[in-house]
Structure formats: C-alpha cells, structure tokens
C-alpha cells in the first residue's frame, strides 16, 4: 500500500485557489489512486511561522477540517487530522533540522520572499519550516506529495533530507515524489492577476473568493474581476493575465479545455463570459457551503478528526522510535 501526504495551513479562510490547487486535487486523487492511503492534515504548526490570533487560529483549524469533508474528502479513504495533535511532527522536525544545513534553508525562495514582506520580528521557524515539512512527509513514508509549483523546491529539500539521513544512518525513509496538478496549478488574484490568490495576504476582499463567501458576493467578485480592453476571450498569460486566469478557473471547475472555452466564447463579450463563469463557481460552491454548515459544529467532525489522529499517531510513533534508535538517542530497547 502506497501513501500520500499533504496539508493546508490554517492562516485564513480557504480561497478558490486552495480549492482548485489543492483540495479538488485531493478529492480526484482519492478516487483515482487505488492502493494508496491518504493523510491530509491541517498544518497548524506551520501557521505560527507568522503571527496568528489564537481564537482565529482555532476557528480556522476547524473550518479547514469541515471544508475538507464538505469538498468531498471521504473520511473512509482519507485520514484527516490536526498536525499539532501528533507531537511526532515536531519531534521529527528537530531530527530534520539536525540533518539539513542552514545554507540549504537560506536558499529557499519562499523564505526570501516571505522575509521581504514582513516588517518586524521574523520568526526562526520561517527559516526552518522546510524541516518541519520534511518531517510531515517522511514520518508517514509518503510515496506521493501533491504540490503547487511554488512547493517544488521544498519537496526537493525533503528528498535531500531523506537521502542524507538514509546515507548517514542506514535505510530509513521512503523518498517521496511530487505530483503537480495538470490544470489550475496556480490561481491568481481577481484584482491583481499577476499575483497568486492567497488566503492571508493583506489585499482587497475583491481579489479573492472564499469558499464560504456569500454566493451573491462570489458572483459579484467574478463580474468585477480585472480584465483588459480587448473584449476577446483568449488565453494569453503575459498580455491578458486577467482573462487568462478566469479561463483557468472556468476550465478547472468544468473540465472543459481552455481551447474549447476560447472557441465557445469567441464571439462573446467579457460580460457574457464572466456571467457564465459566475454561475459555474456558484454552482460549485453552493453544495460545499450546505455541507459545511451541516458539519462545522457537529460531533461527526470531531469523530473524524479523532479517528484520523489515532491512525496517524500509530504510524508516526512507530517511525519516530525507529529514527531515534538509528540515530542512537535514548537507551537501547
Ligand atoms: N492561488 C492558488 N492557486 C493554486 N493553488 C493554491 N494553493 C494556495 N494558493 C493557491 C495551494 O493550496 C495549498 C495550501 O497551502 P498552504 O495554505 O499550506 O500554503 P500556501 O500555498 O502559502 O497558501 P496560501 O493560501 O497562499 O496561504 P498563505 O497566504 O498563508 O501563504 C497548497 O497546496 C497550495 O499549492
């Protein structure tokens, strides 16, 4: 049986970018990858690399868990759990910090970018979180890790860590492979289509669509998305980033190819295209929101998280004991 691991940081309410780039992919994979056990977690330890308000963080953790289910993750097939409830993640993180080099961390593009956007008190964990990410993956001997383009470098570092550890202490970790989704790898902002749609960035609310946004608001956000003055529905990322982004969203949600969409709308104006896209997005989000409201305060959700935690804990503890033994920590058992 193979294993797949992934997680999302509870740094804000989830966006359509998180859905298309991550959750929808998980849902497709759970149905396509047979003989694979899934571990999909809420990466709350990763969230505190930047300041979080405690009650908001707690709300976000629960909200992501409910959205995982509402978007179609099947708890019978997927272990859904909260990262901080498995202390082995933090323990293996330390072993990974003692395997990777500072220079390797400092080369991470995300660190350089995030450091620039912060004005005060850059936390040490913002530099070292790739070690925690390596721990998240290696703890479960993951074979597959679904990743966005911007996580490629971190996954490579995870592979480096696994190979180095295996070389130093003997064969211990499976070397994971990244899976990059074919479409919708990167959804851009509706107002700033040159920048990624992001859940925590300090931007105008019109730039992103939240999965739990009021549906009328969703439609209006699509209709007021920035485009250009050509009025030609054509994919051209460089010269027409706004309409290209909307085409990407349309295609990702309907599975209609961008080429077919260009053909369909070749004689239409942006108004018609946006109005159809607004309907597509609303139709996608409507059942998700119904399920979300049904489950968010339910005992069922807690039961799912308990079950996921227990299964994850079992595997994680076994792996960590093996790691400690290989490194020579503690007493011989
Ligand atoms: N705009 C996006 N388009 C496609 N995929 C996206 N993801 C995030 N934004 C987009 C994917 O969602 C998952 C969430 O990962 P994360 O929350 O751990 O980190 P992130 O990529 O940094 O997400 P955000 O929303 O931009 O968070 P903040 O604002 O806190 O940094 C990943 O699989 C990611 O690829």
Q: Is 25 in the pocket of ligand 1 (CB under 6 A)?
A: no
Kindly tell me the burial class for residue 200, based on how many C-beta atoms sit within 10 Å of its own C-beta (0-12, 13-18, 19 or more). middle
Strands (E), 259-310: none
Q: How does pLDDT run across 219-240, given as a tens digit for each residue?
A: 999 999 999 998 999 999 999 9
Strands 78-82 and 36-42: parallel
Q: Is the pLDDT of residue 250 over 60?
A: yes
> Taking a C-beta distance cutoff of 8 angstroms, is the pair 131, 110 a contact?
no
Q: What is the mean pLDDT of residues 23-49?
A: 95
What is the model's pLDDT at position 115?
83
CA neighbor of 161 nearest in space, from 143, 145, 179, 137: 137
DSSP string, 215-264: HHHHHHHHHT----SS-----BTTTBHHHHHHHHHHHHHH---HHHHHHH
For residue 73, the tally of other CB atoms under 10 A from its CB is 20
Q: Is the pLDDT of residue 184 over 80?
A: no
Q: Which pLDDT band holds residue 110 (cuts at 50, 70, 90)? A: confident
Q: Is the pLDDT of residue 183 over 80?
A: no
Distance 151 CA to ligand 1 centre (A): 9
Top pLDDT among 112 and 222 is at 222
Q: What is the mean pLDDT of residues 50-64?
A: 96
Q: Which pLDDT band holds residue 255 (cuts at 50, 70, 90)? A: very high
Distance 254 CA to ligand 1 centre (A): 21
Q: Which of helix, strand or coil describes residue 117?
A: coil
Q: Residue 265 CA to chain centroid, in angstroms?
A: 31
Top pLDDT among 164 and 31 is at 164
What is the model's pLDDT at position 131?
98
Query: Which residues are catalytically annotated?
Result: 114, 196, 199
Q: What is the mean pLDDT of residues 254-273?
A: 95
What is the model's pLDDT at position 111?
86
The residue assigned the tokens 């209006």 is 220
Q: How does pLDDT run across 150-178, given as a tens digit for each residue?
A: 788 999 999 999 999 999 999 999 999 99
Distance 332 CA to ligand 1 centre (A): 42
Residue nearest to atom 33 of ligand 1 (CA): 22
Walk me through the domains of the chain, giving residue ranges and CATH numbers: 2-181+298-327 (3.40.50.620), 205-293 (1.10.240.10)
Q: Is 24 in the pocket of ligand 1 (CB under 6 A)?
A: no
Q: Please tell me what DSSP assigns to residue 150.
A: G
Q: Is the pLDDT of residue 54 over 80?
A: yes
Q: Which pLDDT band holds residue 120 (cuts at 50, 70, 90)? A: confident
Cα torsion 83, 117, 20, 109 to 10°: value is -80
Q: Is 42 in the pocket of ligand 1 (CB under 6 A)?
A: no
Q: Residue 199 CA to chain centroid, in angstroms?
A: 11
What is the model's pLDDT at position 264?
97
Among 15, 40, 148, 210, which is best to mutate for testing ligand 1, by the most ligand atoms less than 8 A from CB? 148
Q: Is 8 in the pocket of ligand 1 (CB under 6 A)?
A: yes
What is the model's pLDDT at position 182?
67
Element (H, E) at 145: strand 144-146
Q: Is 50 in the pocket of ligand 1 (CB under 6 A)?
A: no
Q: Which pLDDT band holds residue 118 (cuts at 50, 70, 90)? A: confident
Q: Is 148 in the pocket of ligand 1 (CB under 6 A)?
A: yes
Distance 288 CA to ligand 1 centre (A): 19
> Taking a C-beta distance cutoff of 8 angstroms, is the pair 96, 161 a contact?
yes
Q: Is the pLDDT of residue 117 over 90?
A: no
Q: What is the mean pLDDT of residues 267-295?
A: 97
Q: Is the pLDDT of residue 333 over 80?
A: no
Q: Residue 125 CA to chain centroid, in angstroms?
A: 19
Q: Is 253 in the pocket of ligand 1 (CB under 6 A)?
A: no
Q: Which pLDDT band holds residue 18 (cuts at 50, 70, 90)? A: very high
Residue nearest to atom 10 of ligand 1 (CA): 17
Average pLDDT, the chain: 94
CA neighbor of 322 nearest in space, from 81, 97, 141, 159: 141
Q: What is the mean pLDDT of residues 293-304?
A: 97
């Amino acid at each position: 049986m193979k294993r797949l691991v992934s997680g999302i940081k509870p740094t804000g309410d989830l966006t359509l970018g998180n859905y298309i780039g991550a959750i929808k992919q998980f849902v497709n994979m759970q149905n396509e990858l047979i003989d694979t056990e899934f571990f999909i977690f809420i990466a709350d330890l990763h969230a505190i690399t930047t300041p979080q308000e405690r009650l908001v963080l707690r709300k976000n953790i629960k909200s992501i868990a409910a959205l995982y289910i509402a978007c179609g993750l099947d708890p019978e097939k997927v272990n859904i759990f909260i990262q901080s409830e498995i202390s082995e993640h933090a323990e293996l993180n330390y072993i990974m910090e003692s395997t990777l080099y500072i220079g390797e961390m400092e080369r991470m593009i995300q660190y350089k970018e995030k450091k620039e956007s912060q004005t005060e008190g850059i936390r040490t964990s913002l530099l070292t979180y790739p070690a925690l990410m390596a721990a998240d993956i290696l703890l479960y001997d993951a074979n597959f890790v679904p990743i966005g383009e911007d996580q490629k470098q971190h996954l490579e570092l995870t592979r480096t860590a696994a190979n180095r550890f295996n070389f130093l202490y003997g064969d211990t970790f499976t070397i994971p492979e990244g899976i990059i989704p074919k479409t919708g790898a990167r959804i851009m902002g509706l107002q700033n289509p040159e920048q990624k749609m992001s859940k925590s960035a300090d931007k105008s609310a019109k730039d992103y669509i939240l999965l739990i946004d009021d549906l009328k608001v969703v439609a209006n956000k699509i209709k007021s998305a920035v485009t250009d003055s050509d009025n030609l529905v054509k994919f051209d990322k460089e010269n027409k980033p706004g309409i290209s982004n909307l085409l990407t969203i349309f295609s990702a949600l309907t599975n209609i190819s961008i080429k077919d969409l260009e053909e369909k709308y070749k004689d239409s104006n942006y108004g018609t295209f946006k109005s159809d896209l607004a309907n597509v997005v609303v139709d996608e989000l409507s059942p998700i929101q119904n399920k979300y409201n049904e489950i968010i305060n339910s005992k069922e959700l807690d039961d799912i998280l308990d079950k996921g935690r227990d299964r994850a804990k079992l595997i994680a503890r076994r792996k960590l004991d093996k790691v400690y033994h290989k490194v020579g920590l503690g007493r011989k058992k």
